[in-house]
A and B are shown apart, each in its own frame.
Chain A
Amino acid sequence: MSGDDFEAQLSAYIDGELAAGPAEAVATHLRGCAACARAHERLLAVREALQASLPPLRAPEHLRMDLRRALRTAATTTVVRSMPDWRWLAAAAVLVAILVPATWSVATRRAAGQFLTGELLASHVRSLMGTHLTDVASSDQHTVKPWFNGKLDYSPPVSDFAGRGYPLLGGRLDYLAGRAVAVLVYGRRQHVINVFLWPAGGGPSGGSHAVTRQGYHMRHWTTSEYEYWVVSDLGEAELGEFAQLLSQADSAARPHASP
């Protein structure tokens, strides 16, 4: 065995990286060879010197904090692009420091929105599956509206659109977005439309926006008083028409409401 090879073996030997056979051979050789025994000693001495002089380092606290902040920023802005130049990243970090509060709130609002539409959809599907489509089955708005009294801390406007082909089927209570909400149920031929409404949180009123999830269509809008979500498997056009009727009825019910 050449000297170089034996040195490498010896080095692996002190690391415990040799298989049993070769390790045994090295040990045997060391017992009989003073020069190699000294080489072995020197290797151990170098190791000792290294370990005494170079303790493993601890990451500075500021790095730990900077890092977590940077990770959170990167995760919320979902950077999916090739690794940018560090200077670009530094510039981006400055921008991000300015924009993050806004981005973060948009991202969380979006996440919350997705969660809500999931809940709405689940409620809609549940209402079709079992026997719990309505708590009060009536096509009479004067029966349905008072039924909610005492069950909710608000009295939702209820209208029947049978004349327009969207008969009121009834109403029920559901639990959504952390509160009890009123659900009005309408029919359109064999389709069912669930209307979820609860008092608006005081945010700005907003026009209708449409969402499609798993083949179901949803419409959402906010009036000065109520947040409306409409869910159905009805075609988008008809659901839009229905949403229009509902929102007209809502403003008609509040003649003194500000525009």
Chain B
Amino acid sequence: MSDKDYTEIMKIAFQAEGAINDEIRRKFGHTYQDKTIIIKEGDIGQQIFWILGGEVYITRREGNKYKVLNTVGKGELIGEMSFFDKSVRSATVISKGSVEALVFSKENFQDIFAASPQWTKRLLASISSRIQMMIGKLNSLQH
């Protein structure tokens, strides 16, 4: 399965879930106005963001400029790498229009898990695919 297919399926599966009820939204939901910095490159990641509505720009500083690497939207998780492995944020994430997201911290990981144990499985599958891809890239450097 390609990364694009996987992402598409993940989005559909997230949307199909009834797990995100009003209580979860009240407890963990945040709304960001247009052009708000949600994640800042170089910071230490303490939170993970699950986008429920709207889109964000993923940008990275290159010299004196910021380059937009990608735009991601509903159903996507952002900030998961530094959240779990305590690395510094590798990109700046800026809202593109109004964005609604669930914001979780390590302290309430249990709540994320309770809200949807399935997303941890999807996250595991996603990271596994990236590991496989990176091993492939390392192998290709040898040839």
- Interaction A to B: no
- A: residues with CB less than 8 A from B are none
